[in-house]
Amino acid sequence: MGLFSKLMFWRRHKPIVPVVRLTGVIAQSGSLGRRGLSLEAIEPQLKKAFSVKRAKAVALIINSPGGSPVQSSLIGQRIRDLASRADVPVLAFCEDVAASGGYWLAASADEIFANPASVIGSIGVISAGFGFDKAIAKLGIDRRVYTAGEAKMTLDPFQAERDEEVGRLKAL
């Protein structure tokens, strides 16, 4: 094959990499009175990207602080399902931030690329509350609770904190 033929072959067969932008707070569509980054909102773009013939990969451009863990899980799983069916790798390119659910989306890729200044990671859960057990004891209040299970009152603010309950929560 001559040089001209090789150039023409390359020109006709350039690598194709569809790009999907995953930007903003991850939330169910319509929640908070606005359109969120949800599976419902992004699925048409994902399907289109993964249906491109001769695609060498699909690129995800991610700029999200996270949000709904359910939507993050649904989007991430859909990306993996489509990638498996199309048999193409997924590349995640993190822009300013890919934190919490945004990092979850990046983790659905086969490879993650990020700028050294990007905010990456920060998957975590917080649980906060108040302890009223001393206040109700001081006031002489007798609290009566009836449950049908052992752990139904875990971290009840009207009881003293118990190490095993805190340990169970931290293990989540």
Give the length of the chain.
172
Tokens of 61: 């451009």
Question: Distance (Å, rounded) from C-alpha 95 to C-alpha 106?
Answer: 11
Model pTM score: 0.67
Q: Check if 68 is active-site.
A: no
Q: What is the mean pLDDT of residues 7-16?
A: 68
Question: Distance (Å, rounded) from C-alpha 7 to C-alpha 11?
Answer: 6
Q: Encode pLDDT of 105-145 as tens digits.
A: 999 999 999 999 999 987 666 666 778 888 888 998 887 87
What is the predicted pLDDT for the residue at 76? Answer: 98
What is the predicted pLDDT for the residue at 136? Answer: 86
Residue 165 identity (one-letter amino acid): E
Q: What is the mean pLDDT of residues 28-35?
A: 62
The average confidence (pLDDT) of the chain is: 86
| CATH number for domain 9-121, candidates 3.40.50.300, 2.60.120.860, 3.20.20.140, 3.90.226.10 | 3.90.226.10
In the set 100, 108, 118, 122, the catalytic residue is 100
Phi and psi angles of residue 116, each rounded to the nearest 5 degrees, phi first = -60, -20
Q: Where are the domains of the chain?
A: 9-121, 133-171
Q: Encode pLDDT of 54-81 as tens digits.
A: 999 999 999 999 999 999 999 999 999 9
What is the predicted pLDDT for the residue at 144? Answer: 80
- With 60 as the cut, is the pLDDT of residue 148 above it? yes
Question: Distance (Å, rounded) from C-alpha 49 to C-alpha 56?
Answer: 11
Which residue in 33, 16, 35 sits closest to 25, CA to CA?
35
**Of 75-89, 94-108, 149-163, where does mean pLDDT reach its minimum?**
149-163
DSSP track, 33-93:
GS--B-HHHHHHHHHHHHT-TTBS-EEEEEEE--B-HHHHHHHHHHHHHHHHHHT--EEEE
DSSP secondary structure letter of residue 24: S
Q: What is the mean pLDDT of residues 35-62?
A: 94
What is the predicted pLDDT for the residue at 2? Answer: 57
More confident residue, 10 or 146: 146
